[in-house]
Structure 1
Amino acid sequence: MKYVIVLCDGMADEPMEELGGKTPLETAATPNLDRLAPLSEIGMVRTVPEGMSPGSDTANLSVIGYNPREYYTGRSPLEALSIGVDMEQTDVSFRCNIVTLTEEQERYEDRVIVDHSSGEISTEDAAVLVEALKEGLKREGYEFYAGTSYRHLLIWKNGQVVELTPPHDILTRRIGDYLPQDQVLREMMEKSYEILSVHPLNLERKRKGLNPANSAWFWGAGTRPMLRSFEEKNGKKGVMISAVDLLKGIAVGASMHNISVEGANGGLNTNYAGKAKAAADALIQDGYDFAYIHIEAPDEMGHQGNLANKILSIEKIDHDIIGPAAGMLEDAGEDFRMLVLPDHPTPIRVRTHTSDPVPYMLYDSRKAEHTADAYNEAEASETGIREDEGYTLIDHLFEKR
C-alpha cells in the first residue's frame, strides 16, 4: 500500500459574490478531483489548534501528524533545519522576509507594506540582497543566512523569543504599529531599508516595473525544534516534495527524505508535473511508502488577492499533480490512499491565513466510499464528517483506526 498527501497550501476560501456565491475551489475546473470525489471520504478537519496562530508551520505539522502543542517551537527554526543551520539550544532564529515597502514617506514607520514577497523575487536576486544585508548589518551575535526566494533567516546568539507580526498579515497597513519592541531588531530593519532601497539590483527592478525588495522584515521567532522520526512514529518511509524551506525543514526534523524538483519554486509557475513524477518515482521505483507533495501557489495567490490566479493554481494542481500521480500509481498496479487538503484557508478577502477548518478528501483505490458528490468547502461541511484534532488525520490515512 502506498500513501500520498497532496497539500494545497491556502486553497480553502470563502464564498465570493463575484463567483456567484462559490469559492475558488468550487469554481475551478477540476476533472480529476471530480472523478475521485464521489468515490472518497470527504469531511472537514481543524488543522490549527484552538488558540494557536494559523500559520503554515502549525498547520503542516498537524497534517503530517505532529501535535503542534507538543512539537511547535516557532516557524523559523524549522526553516533553519532546511538551510542546514545547526542551532544551539540558546540560539533564537527569525524568518527574514525581503519585502516591498512604499517609498514616498520620509519616516520608516510611516511606510506601508505592499508585498510580503517582493513580487516572488527569484532566489538568485534575493541572494545578492542578503549578501548586502550581511555586510551592512554586520553585528556580533547576529548572523544572516540566505534561503529561497523572499524567505531568509536571522540567527540571534543567546537571544530571546519576541512577539513579531508576519508581514502577510498586515499588507497595505502602516508598519509603525507592528515594528519590533526590541531596539536592535528595529534598528536593523530600518537600516535594511537604507541599504536595499538604493541597491543597484532594486533600482533595476524598479526600471523593469517590478516591486523593489527594499526592506528586511523579521518574524516567526523560535528555538531549536525536536521532532520524532517520522518512520519511527508511523512505520512508514516517507519523502517530502516541496520548494519551501519550512516544509523541507519539517522533513529534516522528522528524518524524512527531501526531493528537490528542478523548476519548483513555490510560486504560481512552479513545476507541478515534476512534483507528481517525483512522488510516483519515489513510491513505485524507490521503495518509499509515503509522499507528501506540497504546493505553495494557492496560498501565494491568496496573499496577493489574485482571484484568477488562485483558481488557475487549483486547476494546475488538479491537471498536473492529482491526475498524473493517481494515474501513475494505477498504471503500476499499486494500491494507494490519497489525502487531498489545504493546510489552512487563505481567503482572497483578507489576504492572510485564517484558522477555520478545511475540507479534506481521502481516496482509497481499493474501495469506493461515497460521502459527497464533489470536493469543496460546502460539500465537505454537509457530510458531517469532522476531525477536530488535525494531527490525528494521518492515522486515518494510514488505517491505524
Structure 2
Amino acid sequence: MSEYWSPKPLYRSVVLILDGLGDRPVPELGGRTPLQVARKPTLDSLAAEGVTGIMDVIEPGVRPGTDTGHMALFGYDPYRFYPGRGPLEAAGIGVELKPGDVALRANFATVREEGGRLIVVDRRAGRIRGEDAEALTRYLNERIGSVDDVRVSFHHATAHRLVVVLRGDSLSPRVSDSDPGTAREGEPVREVKPLTNDPESERTARILWKLLLRAHEELERCPVNEERVKRGLLPANAVLTRGAGMVPYGIVPFREQFGATAYLVAEEATVLGVARILGIEGEIPGGSTADLDTDLDAIFNRALDAYRRGYEFVFIHVKGTDIAGHDAKPLEKARFIERVDEAFAGFLSRIDRGKTIVAVTADHSTPCTVRDHSGDPVPLLINGPGVRRDDVTSFDEISCARGGLGRIRGVNLVRILLDLMNKPIMFGE
C-alpha cells in the first residue's frame, strides 16, 4: 500500500512549461535549434547547477497535444484519463462537470435550408461575439432545458464558441461531429452518428441530433437574429458541435493523489481546463495573450503570488514558443526564449531558492521545419537543494540528452519532483 513519507526539510516546486519549446535543427540557424541559438544565461545556469535529461511527454514517437501533454506533466496518464476536448473547453470556462457528463465544443453558425438539409453558410456566423453571442446562449437555455430525459445546457465561451453539456444516464462521448469544418463551408451540417455499435452511443447520437435541430428552430425565430439581419449581419441560426468527450470516472484530485497543493498560471483555456479537471487551481492572468507579445511580467507576477500563498507546486505555462514554431519563425522563437529567460530570472530572485526545486521543460516539441507538434522528446532541467549535478552546462535539446536524468516519460516528472521535495510516494515498507 502506498503512503506519503515526509521527512524534514520539505521543499516546494516551481515548474516552468514552455509550450512547444522543443525543436529540430533549422538550416537558417546553421543546423542548430532556436534553443541552442538563444542567449539564455538563466536557463543555462540552472542546467549547469542541476540535473538534465530529455522527456517523452507521452511516449517515444507520440505527438502530444497541448492538452494530453499537460495532463502527463501534471502526473496523470492521458491514455487512461484524457476526457476529450469538449470537457477541457468546459472546464476552462468554469463549467462544473460530473463524471458521466458529455461535453462538446460548439460554434454558433449561419445555415440555410436547401432540399431538406441545412447548408453551412458560415460556421462562425460572421465571427459573432459579445452581447449577441451571450444573449443567444441565454435564449437557448431558456427554451431548451432537456431532450427526452437528458438535461441540456449551453455555455458561452469566446467569440462564436460555446460549450454544450448533456447530463443523464447511459450517455457516451463516442459520437460524430456535426461541424463539417472550415474547408467545407457550403456543405450540409453533418448528421450526428454513433461511432461505436452500442446502445449508449446510439442513444447519445439520436438525442444530440434532435437537440441541434431544435436549436436551429429556436434560433431561427430569436429576436437577436432578427436584429442582426436588420443590421446587415449574418444570423447565428445553428449550433455546430465537435470534440465530444466525457469526464472519466476514477480521477483522483491532485492533492489527494500526490499529497500536495498545486496552482497553475496558464495562457489558454485548454491548459486551464486540464488543470481544473484534475483538481488543480489556476488562472489566466490579465495581460497574457498566448502569443509572442504576451506580458511575461504579468504571468510571473501571478505565479509569484501563488508561490507566496504557499502552494507546494506552482506550474507556469507560457505559449509563445509554440506560436513561433507553428509559424515557422525560428529567430522569433529564439528571441522569445531570451525574453522568458530574463523574466524568469526576475521571478527566481524573489523566491526562496534554498527551499525550492525548479524544473523547466515543455509539453511537446513544435519544430519550425514541421510547423506542427512532433514526437521529438523535450529538454528537461531540475535544479534545487539536494539535486545531483551532471556535467551538462547548456539547456537545449542536444546537451540535455547527455544529462543524468536520462530519458523519462512525462508522467514521471511530478513523482521525481515529489522525491526531491522530500515528499515521495512510498511503495512497500
**TM-score, normalised via structure 2 length:** 0.69
**CA-atom RMSD, angstroms?**
4.4
Following TM superposition, by how much is the alpha carbon of 1:223 offset from its aligned partner in structure 2, in angstroms? 0.3
Residue 257 of structure 2 corresponds to 233
Within a 5 Å distance, the mapping from 1:178-217 to structure 2 comes to 182=192
Q: Secondary structure at the match of 1:398?
A: helix
1:386 equivalent to 2:406? Answer: yes
Distance in 2 separating the partners of 1:51 and 1:175: 34
Q: Secondary structure at the match of 2:291?
A: coil
Distance in 2 separating the partners of 1:91 and 1:30: 45
Query: Does the Cα contact within 8 Å between 1:48 and 1:344 map onto a contact in 2?
Result: no
Following TM superposition, by how much is the alpha carbon of 1:23 offset from its aligned partner in structure 2, in angstroms? 1.3
Residue 29 of structure 1 corresponds to 39
Question: Which of 80, 85, 104 is the aligned partner of 1:70?
Answer: 80
Residue 326 of structure 1 corresponds to 348
Residue 290 of structure 1 corresponds to 313
Distance in 2 separating the partners of 1:52 and 1:180: 30
Query: Does the Cα contact within 8 Å between 1:130 and 1:145 map onto a contact in 2?
Result: no
Unaligned runs of 5+ in 2: 1-10, 110-118, 194-207, 217-223
Distance in 1 separating the partners of 2:281 and 2:28: 42
Query: Does the Cα contact within 8 Å between 1:302 and 1:346 map onto a contact in 2?
Result: yes
Change (3 A) 1:109 1:78: closer
Residue 211 of structure 1 corresponds to none
Matched pairs, number: 365
Distance in 2 separating the partners of 1:379 and 1:151: 42
Read off the aligned partner of 1:349 and give its amino acid letter.
Answer: T
Read off the aligned partner of 1:396 and give its amino acid letter.
Answer: I
Distance in 1 separating the partners of 2:65 and 2:42: 28
Following TM superposition, by how much is the alpha carbon of 1:384 offset from its aligned partner in structure 2, in angstroms? 7.0
Query: Does the Cα contact within 8 Å between 2:36 and 2:396 map onto a contact in 1?
Result: yes
1:8 equivalent to 2:18? Answer: yes
Query: Does the Cα contact within 8 Å between 2:84 and 2:246 map onto a contact in 1?
Result: yes
Following TM superposition, by how much is the alpha carbon of 1:303 offset from its aligned partner in structure 2, in angstroms? 2.8
Residue 317 of structure 1 corresponds to 340
Within a 5 Å distance, the mapping from 1:111-122 to structure 2 comes to none
Residue 251 of structure 1 corresponds to 275
Question: Which of 243, 248, 265 is the aligned partner of 2:289?
Answer: 265
Residue 374 of structure 1 corresponds to 394
Deviations 1:279-307 (A, max 9, x none): 22322x32222100111222233233343
Change (3 A) 1:230 1:91: closer
Q: Bigger shift: 229-238 or 360-369? A: 360-369
Distance in 2 separating the partners of 1:227 and 1:157: 18
Distance in 2 separating the partners of 1:355 and 1:218: 29
Distance in 2 separating the partners of 1:84 and 1:9: 22
Q: Secondary structure at the match of 2:357?
A: strand
Read off the aligned partner of 1:94 and give its amino acid letter.
Answer: L
Residue 17 of structure 1 corresponds to 27
Change (3 A) 1:275 1:131: same
Residue 5 of structure 2 corresponds to none
Read off the aligned partner of 1:362 and give its amino acid letter.
Answer: I
Query: Does the Cα contact within 8 Å between 1:238 and 1:288 map onto a contact in 2?
Result: yes
Change (3 A) 1:148 1:45: farther
Change (3 A) 1:42 1:96: farther
Distance in 2 separating the partners of 1:371 and 1:75: 41
Question: Which of 328, 331, 335 is the aligned partner of 1:305?
Answer: 328
Q: Secondary structure at the match of 1:337?
A: strand
Residue 221 of structure 1 corresponds to 244
Identity %: 26
Within a 5 Å distance, the mapping from 1:90-129 to structure 2 comes to 90-96=100-106, 126-127=129-130
Following TM superposition, by how much is the alpha carbon of 1:377 offset from its aligned partner in structure 2, in angstroms? 1.0
Q: Bigger shift: 4-13 or 308-317? A: 308-317
Change (3 A) 1:244 1:152: farther
Distance in 2 separating the partners of 1:52 and 1:149: 32
Following TM superposition, by how much is the alpha carbon of 1:217 offset from its aligned partner in structure 2, in angstroms? 7.5
Unaligned runs of 5+ in 1: 100-107, 205-214
Q: Bigger shift: 82-91 or 231-240? A: 82-91
Q: Bigger shift: 379-388 or 35-44? A: 379-388
Change (3 A) 1:280 1:164: farther
Q: Secondary structure at the match of 1:309?
A: helix
Residue 208 of structure 1 corresponds to none
Read off the aligned partner of 1:235 and give its amino acid letter.
Answer: G
1:161 equivalent to 2:173? Answer: yes
1:358 equivalent to 2:378? Answer: yes
1:338 equivalent to 2:371? Answer: no
Residue 298 of structure 2 corresponds to 274
Q: Secondary structure at the match of 1:145?
A: strand
